[in-house]
Structure 1
Amino acid sequence: MTTALSHCQVNFSPDPKSKSFVCSLLIVLSVVCSVYFLGTEWLKRDPMRLSRGFGLSTRQQHVKSEKYEVLPVESQLNATRGSNHTRHQKCNDECRPIGTEALPEGIISEISNLEMHPLWGPLSEDKKSKPTLGLLAIAAGIGQKGLVSEIVKKFLQSNFTVMLFHYDNVVDSWHDLEWSDQVIHVAARNQTKWWFAKRFLHPDIIANYDYIFLWDEDLGVENFHPQRYLSIVKEEGLEISQPALNPSKSAVYHPITVRREHSRVHRRYYKFKGSGKCDGKSMSPPCVGWVELMAPVFSKMAWRCAWYMIQNDLIHAWGLDLQLGYCAQGDRTAKVGVVDEEYIVHLGLPTLGGFSSKSLHSNNLSELQSRTADMYEVDNRSAVRRRSHEEMLVFERRWKKAREEDRCWSDPFN
């Protein structure tokens, strides 16, 4: 202001009116400039004096009022763009699936299933009104077509979704069965059901199914009913289970799987002689908290845990059975069990690695089936079992190493 006034004093104009106008104009400009520079310094000291919505969203204004920091220009622009909904997103942003940050929340579909839909026309009312009870995923070779067909029909009648894992890569020969178009067919030569499960049964894909049956193909189901089985499992609170084996007709490898007459469910096995003693004080597998990998049944949450324990490169999964109890969602002595009322027959057929055509359980072999059987005349079972045992040792080493290295993990059963 001093500069402006002195300027008026030294620059006389012959016209008094002109002189008065110029001095007034300079005085006004000086006042405006002073207010601008003083205001800028004041705002730097307290940016929250800005009015709401001026470059900062409501949530950001609250945060910045505590930290007294100036947002970068890019952050201010981003905040302004989201100012209409940011105040409602604080919790939801943290819960969003990774990768969906660029999407509006309402369009996000987090789960899937294996249901098939028609290429045209509306979805049938029958499909809409009947949610599936669970998922049956079963290893299936063409040699066991008859056995697999009986299993699948029982599960489809109980409103299950069914997926077949064709480890011999033969799919077309199944299409003559009346139910073939109702199931999912996945084919890959010489792979195990655990290889298929790791790749096609991710927990997020099958999150709609409350129970997952991951079965071998060589099972007789004459005395098995899926709906009754699940009702028992739910009432007994079993998260991991299997149907008991008929001892007179089955190949039994583990005594705990044998059916007990006049029993509904059993959870432990007793052995008082020889090595591997099992009594009422035993708290670990295979005495208690254990099922065989031949016909396991998982709850949705138990499968979510078990899937992560399946090693991507160990396709036989030997050794996994001893650790499944960690996925029982609690006490494995209570939540893992064998169901006696609904039992099956385990034929114990040596299918993986080759088999003789004499072992095929289909009376009317087609020409393609016969050629397929001939392909497997060379028996590689010894090599398969050797690989299985090697994988078990690898899994045991990995489990031990993981236990030792994870400082944050504590064993709930020790």
Structure 2
Amino acid sequence: MVSFHCASAMSAFSCSLFVVASLFCGAYFISSGFFTKGYSEVSSSSINIGNLVVKFRDCQDGEVINMLQSSKSATCKVRCRPPGSEALPQGIIVKTSNLEMRPLWSDTVKPGNLGPSANLLAIAVGIKQKEIVDRIIKKFPARDFVVMLFHYDGVVDEWRDLEWSDQAIHLSAVNQTKWWFAKRFLHPDIVAEYKYIFLWDEDLGVDFEKLCTSLYLSIIEDEGLEISQPALDPVKSDVHHQITARKRNSRLHRRIYKFKGSGRCDSHSTAPPCIGWVEMMAPVFSRAAWRCAWYMIQNDLIHAWGLDMQLGYCAQGDRMKNVGVVDAQYIVHLGLPTLGGRRNFT
């Protein structure tokens, strides 16, 4: 009979793995010392665990290693469950959700309709910009996008006459910015099914020849952009940072070398807003980038000034490669004073 004693320096998890291995394979132990999580194979019949050698009498080559890995995976399934779900059977745990609406009386809609290509467009809106917003949303086909409107002025019913309104999700909270809404309603587990999240302002011009969302998606996917934005028409737009201005005869750009006549940006620049940077009026996040960026949105954030300088942390790698401005699909930033209106404004 073999007895097992876990030294204080050894984790209970490591101990349990080798108890399981020994019971299944008739292992016996030689040498002495503490167990550790790391191990290395020394022959087809033994492995090293720190200073301890474990020999196996009955196991085939690699069988014990596979057994230990399987045990670790099974243990992780229990330990890595969402807090509060530990008492539930594994088969009924649903860790994520989405924004797909369901018919009240239909049993024909199957779960998971969204598929891997569905995306999300979320805009903070006020009734004064209804016509502009209508033109924006018509650029985002329903087959590829779920639309969510953040009504910062409390006006919702006046949008009902638009053809797409009943398919959109309407959230209302007076005098709140899109970052307030995004922090509270776009949790990464809620938008986990969406490949890209467009988090836009309402004062954006999107003429037909300037923006095609399907082409935009193909460009950022092909270029591996985790964080992006469409370029701004430099003539008609309110441009705050030169890197967002459209470059002619260009597909996209990731940096600039001149900053409105100053020496701020040059070939040696490695920091925003000279390289790897987008502005906060029309950012587009990949699923992974948004899961990171959501945590940076503080609960009292209003206009997100300064947050744009930190987005590089969420670029899923090199911000100088994974963040960019798409020139081939561009928009106009109208620069209208919009947020903060009240229901009874004129």
TM-score, reference length from structure 1:
0.64
CA spacing shift, 1:93–1:193, aligned 2, 3 Å: same
Who is 2:169 aligned against? 184
Deviation at 1:227, TM superposition (A): 1.1
Change (3 A) 1:211 1:273: closer
| Matched residues, number | 287
Q: Secondary structure at the match of 1:178?
A: coil
AA partner of residue 264 (structure 2): K
| Percentage of pairs with the same residue | 65
Measure the CA separation in 1 of the matches of 2:259 and 2:103. Answer: 58
Q: CA deviation at 1:162?
A: 0.6
For 1:242, give the aligned amino acid: Q
Query: Given the alignment of the two structures, is residue 372 of structure 1 paired with residue 329 of structure 2, yes or no?
Result: no
Please give the secondary structure, in 2, of the residue aligned with 1:290.
Answer: coil
| Greater CA drift, 285-294 or 87-96 | 87-96
Give the counterpart of 2:153 among 152, 165, 168: 168
Q: Matches of 1:307 and 1:169 in 2, distance apart? A: 25
1:114–1:258 CA distance, 2 compared to 1 (3 A):
same
Taking a change above 3 Å as real, the CA distance of residues 284 and 168 of structure 1, as seen in their structure-2 partners, is same
In structure 1, what is the Cα distance between the partners aligned to 2:270 and 2:321? 11
Indicate which of 79, 85, 89 corresponds to 1:104.
89
Q: Distance in 2 between matches of 1:117 and 1:272?
A: 49
Q: Say yes or no: does 1:348 pair with 2:330.
A: no
Q: Which of 170, 175, 183 is the matching residue for 1:198?
A: 183
AA in 1 matched with 2:305: W
Q: Separation in 2 of the partners of 1:125 and 1:308? A: 32
Higher-Rg structure is 1
For residues 314 and 19 of structure 2, the distance between their equivalents in structure 1, rounded to whole angstroms, comes to: 43
Q: Which amino acid aligns with 1:373?
A: F
CA distance in 1: counterparts of 2:241 and 2:166, whole angstroms: 36
Q: 1:90 to 1:353 in 2, by over 3 A?
A: closer
1:137-173, CA deviations, whole angstroms, 9 ceiling, x for partnerless residues? Answer: 0011000101111111221345200100000010010
* In the alignment, structure 1 residue 62 sits paired with structure 2 residue 16: no
Alignment of 1:205-354 (within 5 A): 205-222=190-207, 223-271=210-258, 275=262, 277-354=264-341
Q: 1:271 to 1:100 in 2, by over 3 A?
A: same
Deviations 1:68-120 (A, max 9, x none): xxxxxxxxxxxxxxxxxx99942321232222110000101111000000011
How many angstroms apart in 1 are the aligned matches of 2:72 and 2:311?
A: 44
Q: Deviations over 1:307-366 (max 9, x none)?
A: 0011111222110001101110111111110000011111110112349xxxxxxxxxxx
| Distance of 1:47 and 1:278 partners within structure 2 | 65
User: What is the distance in 1 between the residues matched to 2:160 and 2:260?
Assistant: 51
Contact 1:311 1:317 in 2 (8 A): no
- Please say if residues 135 and 209 of structure 1, whose CA atoms lie closer than 8 Å, have aligned partners that are also in contact: yes
Shift of 1:132: 4.9
TM normalised by structure 2 equals 0.76
Match of 1:402 in 2: none
Q: Contact 1:169/1:187 (CA < 8 Å) preserved in 2?
A: yes
Structure 1: gaps (5+ residues): 1-42, 49-58, 67-85, 356-370, 375-414
Quote the residue 1:134 is aligned against: 119
The DSSP-based 3-state class of the residue aligned with 2:113 is helix
In structure 1, the partner of 2:77 is: 92
Structure 2 unmatched ranges of 5 or more: 6-15, 24-28, 30-70
Structure with the higher helix share, 1 or 2: 1
CA distance in structure 2 between the aligned counterparts of 1:185 and 1:107, rounded to whole angstroms: 30
Provide the alpha-carbon RMSD of the alignment.
2.8
Residues 276, 133 of structure 1: alpha-carbon distance in 2 compared, 3 angstrom cutoff? farther
C-alpha change, 1:234 and 1:123, in structure 2 (3 Å) is same
Q: In structure 2, how many angstroms separate the alpha carbons of the residues matched to 1:275 and 1:107?
A: 60
Q: 2:176 touches 2:340 (CA, 8 Å); kept in 1? A: no
SS in structure 1 opposite 2:243? helix
- In structure 2, relative to structure 1, the CA distance for the partners of 1:168 and 1:129 (3 Å cut) is closer
Q: 1: distance between equivalents of 2:311 and 2:118? A: 23
SS at match of 1:233: helix
Greater relative CO, 1 or 2 (CA 8 Å, sep 6+)? 2
Matched letter for residue 308 of structure 2: D
